A and B are shown apart, each in its own frame.
Chain A
Amino acid sequence: DGGITQSPKYLFRKEGQNVTLSCEQNLNHDAMYWYRQDPGQGLRLIYYSQIVNDFQKGDIAEGYSVSREKKESFPLTVTSAQKNPTAFYLCASRGAGSEQYFGPGTRLTVT
């Protein structure tokens, strides 16, 4: 069953803690992306990676970090430096075509 998986679906953390969100794909896609979505808003790009061991900042990278050690995996760490971490986080991947395929998302709540 091919696709993109994000886990967990819901995540709760205390303020001041770092938290890592998982994103895995078995589509053999080179490019992967992380977006953030706030209620009633569109998606905003946090980081993206076009190839293993390489990644670039998106529009709102401050307070986040990523790694791309394997083609299949692109984990996102929400650090304590992110001022408003509560949001819906979406991971996507892209193959040879131009369209992106999205995972089901992780809803992070920080209190």
Chain B
Amino acid sequence: DAKTTQPPSMDCAEGRAANLPCNHSTISGNEYVYWYRQIHSQGPQYIIHGLKNNETNEMASLIITEDRKSSTLILPHATLRDTAVYYCIVRGHNNAGNMLTFGGGTRLMVKP
């Protein structure tokens, strides 16, 4: 599975959009981009995933560049409860067992 690179930390003002970047320059054609988040001392929570088209759900939007080498998770109106570590994960379609490889993630701090 392709490796991902994320900034270690970011700040965002409450009510503003939070844009979390992820680089995955070695991604291959059948690998999906997944985003999870982990609020302190809790289990990770699935947010969204995509292959090449942009995706949106009730939690967030995922924008994947045309060359698929990077993506951005957008939380449109960040709240204090969105403070968490956000993990960008690339997983192969042929990944037996659907295993996830978690890197260090981005620690998002939403400030009032």
Contact = CB atoms under 8 A, between A and B. Distances in A.
Nearest to B8: A40
Contacts of B34: 98-99
Contact of B97 (A31, A104, A107): A31
A36 to B, nearest CB: 11
A94 interface: yes
Contacts of A44: 102
Interface majority SS (helix, strand, loop, mixed), chain B: loop
Given A31-B97, A98-B91, A41 B104 contact: yes
A101 B42 contact: no
Interface of A: 4, 31, 33, 35, 40-45, 48, 50, 56, 58, 88, 90-92, 94, 98-105, 107
A99 to B, nearest CB: 4
13 contacts: A31-B97, A31-B98, A42-B103, A48-B99, A58-B99, A88-B41, A90-B43, A98-B34, A100-B44, A100-B98, A101-B46, A103-B43, A105-B41
Nearest to A107: B41
Contact of B99 (A4, A45, A107): A45
B44, B102, B105 — most chain A CB neighbours (10 Å): B44
